Chain A
Amino acid sequence: EDQVTQSPEALRLQEGESSSLNCSYTVSGLRGLFWYRQDPGKGPEFLFTLYSAGEEKEKERLKATLTKKESFLHITAPKPEDSATYLCAVLDGGSQGNLIFGKGTKLSVKP
């Protein structure tokens, strides 16, 4: 069965304190790994897509990396506005290509 596990469940950082979020996955025939950001009361907002091991993507203070078993979302010198829930999802290998989500990591950045 395809699975996505995110850790930690919650993370509290001081402004400027860099850290990483983890997403481990088991899926038959990975067709893409996605990172989303979700703010309270809103739908998930797309951040990155990664397709193959060794691939990296960057956007402002965020950098996503991918290995054969897991992905990391590195947050460098975070600011309070980076506070949100970060969701990881994998596109399974079926013909329809359904997104399977982890539970998310709730990030709080204090000034």
Chain B
Amino acid sequence: ETGVTQTPRHLVMGMTNKKSLKCEQHLGHNAMYWYKQSAKKPLELMFVYSLEERVENNSVPSRFSPECPNSSHLFLHLHTLQPEDSALYLCASSQVGGGRHGYTFGSGTRLTVV
């Protein structure tokens, strides 16, 4: 148990579906992040929430919509995705500013878009 829990672990969805990824942290952190991990690419930062406010959106398509209702929970709402969106989606948390250990990651959601 890493302290950051992501559900579901695996998700297969059609291009017209709407689904949500969930992330929960039990570490008392006050910043949360969504990353996308694709083969042969570095982890791509998608969204940053600091003290429950979105502070960064790295030009992510609008078919990805984050939500952070409180400092312990983070969602990623998905709709009308494309096959190239298939990837491992990682949630992470930290103290604001990164902390001494950087980020703590969840195990990820493996998303397949068909």
Residue numbers of A with Cβ under 8 A of B are 4, 31-32, 34, 36, 41-46, 49, 87, 89, 91, 95-104
Contact = CB atoms under 8 A, between A and B. Distances in A.
A45 B102 CA distance: 10
Given A49-B101, A101-B42, A103-B40, A43 B2 contact: yes
B59 to A, nearest CB: 14
Contact of B98 (A36, A42, A43, A99): A99
A98 B45 contact: yes
B107 A42 contact: yes
Q: Which 5 A-B pairs have the closest CB atoms?
A: A43-B105, A97-B98, A101-B43, A34-B102, A97-B97
A98 B48 contact: yes
Contacts of A102: 42
A99 B42 contact: no
A96 B50 contact: yes
Given A34-B102, A96-B96, A98-B48, 16 more contacts: A36-B105, A41-B107, A42-B108, A43-B106, A44-B105, A46-B104, A49-B102, A91-B102, A95-B97, A96-B55, A96-B56, A97-B96, A98-B56, A99-B102, A101-B42, A103-B42
